[in-house]
């Protein structure tokens, strides 16, 4: 964040969208976003942002507000605490040897890949089954509570919609997708008592996790703009309902700077 502060013009996402529409973005414009609604967005990220006077947007899946753990985090924690052998074949999810950190990481990736595109209800059932096999205790403080969400909003962080249960939209009927998008927005507005105008597609890969019909649904549900996980930077002709982003996985400021710089040269995929 020191590098971002020194090298870029950091804007609130709503302002950046307005200026993108007017074609008046400053050079090296950047927005900071977080997905899902983890409690550490408040406890860890907010103090770092406030110390540097940086704006940010947090996209929240309302079904997990109140401390519940997202399904993928349950998978991660289950594999972390599982014994050296994890037999999930009775539920059709395979058998895993977990003798090393790499083997546990591989098991996490395999399980998430196998569960990600299942219907939300079936996915949650399977994840609950995995948690029971390893006797994993329920989580209470992983995601933000209502009061934490209000605190974050009161601190000036923009709150955006991210559906209710974080489903893969392409696996839902249009009515189900609309309910996820619209109900998530309504619930957030009731919690923070403020309009919610920004949206992030769950998982966010255009053409795979969402399609053009979902872009239209987001518009019809009252959102002014939306972000995907398509990799790259916005340009004058970017669809403001499919704005790309860059995930900062780098471990050093220099590599992070190089990733951001390369994003400006990328070609961005969008739903046709």
Residue 121 pLDDT: 82
| Mean pLDDT value across residues 182-197 | 97
Please check the confidence at residue 269 and state whether its pLDDT lies above 90.
no
Higher pLDDT, 124 or 221: 221
pLDDT in tens, 88-115: 999 899 999 999 999 999 999 999 999 9
Residue 271 confidence (pLDDT) above 80: no
What is the Cα Rg of the chain in Å?
Answer: 19
Query: How much is the average pLDDT of 223-239?
Result: 93
Mean pLDDT value across the chain: 92
Mean pLDDT, rounded, for 245-263: 85
Residue 272 pLDDT more than 50? Answer: no
Model confidence band, residue 267 (pLDDT cutoffs 50, 70, 90): low
Q: Compute the average pLDDT of residues 136-159.
A: 92
Can you give the pLDDT at residue 200? 98
3-state SS, 152-214, equals HHHCCCEEEECCCCCCCHHHCCHHHHHHHHHHHHHHHHHHHCCCCCEEECCCCCECCCECHHH
Based on DSSP, count helices (H) and strands (E) in the chain, helices before strands: 11, 10
Q: For 67-76, what is each residue's pLDDT tens digit?
A: 778 889 999 9
pLDDT of 131 strictly over 60: yes
**pTM (predicted TM-score):** 0.89
Higher per-residue pLDDT: 227 or 258: 227
């Amino acid at each position: 964040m020191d590098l971002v502060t020194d090298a870029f013009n950091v804007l609130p996402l709503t302002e950046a969208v307005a200026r993108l529409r007017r074609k008046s973005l400053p050079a090296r414009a950047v927005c900071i976003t977080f997905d899902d609604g983890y409690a550490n967005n408040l406890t860890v990220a907010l103090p770092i942002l406030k110390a540097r006077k940086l704006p940010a947007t947090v996209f929240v899946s309302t079904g997990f507000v109140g401390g519940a753990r997202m399904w993928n985090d349950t998978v991660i924690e289950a594999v972390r605490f599982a014994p050296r052998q994890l037999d999930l074949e009775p539920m059709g999810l395979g058998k895993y040897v977990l003798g090393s950190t790499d083997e546990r990481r591989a098991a996490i990736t395999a399980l998430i890949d196998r569960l990600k595109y299942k219907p939300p209800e079936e996915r949650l059932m399977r994840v609950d089954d995995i948690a029971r096999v390893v006797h994993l205790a329920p989580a209470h403080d992983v995601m933000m509570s209502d009061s934490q969400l209000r605190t974050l909003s009161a601190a000036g962080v923009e709150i955006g919609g991210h559906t209710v249960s974080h489903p893969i939209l392409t696996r839902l009927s249009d009515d189900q997708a609309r309910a996820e998008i619209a109900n998530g927005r309504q619930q957030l507005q009731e919690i923070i008592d403020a309009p919610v105008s920004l949206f992030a597609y769950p998982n966010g890969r255009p053409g795979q996790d969402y399609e053009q019909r979902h872009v239209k649904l987001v518009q019809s549900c009252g959102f002014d703009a939306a972000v995907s996980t398509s990799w790259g930077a916005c340009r004058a002709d970017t669809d403001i309902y499919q704005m790309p982003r860059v995930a900062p996985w780098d471990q050093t400021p220099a590599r992070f700077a190089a990733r951001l710089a390369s994003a400006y040269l990328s070609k961005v995929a969008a739903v046709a």
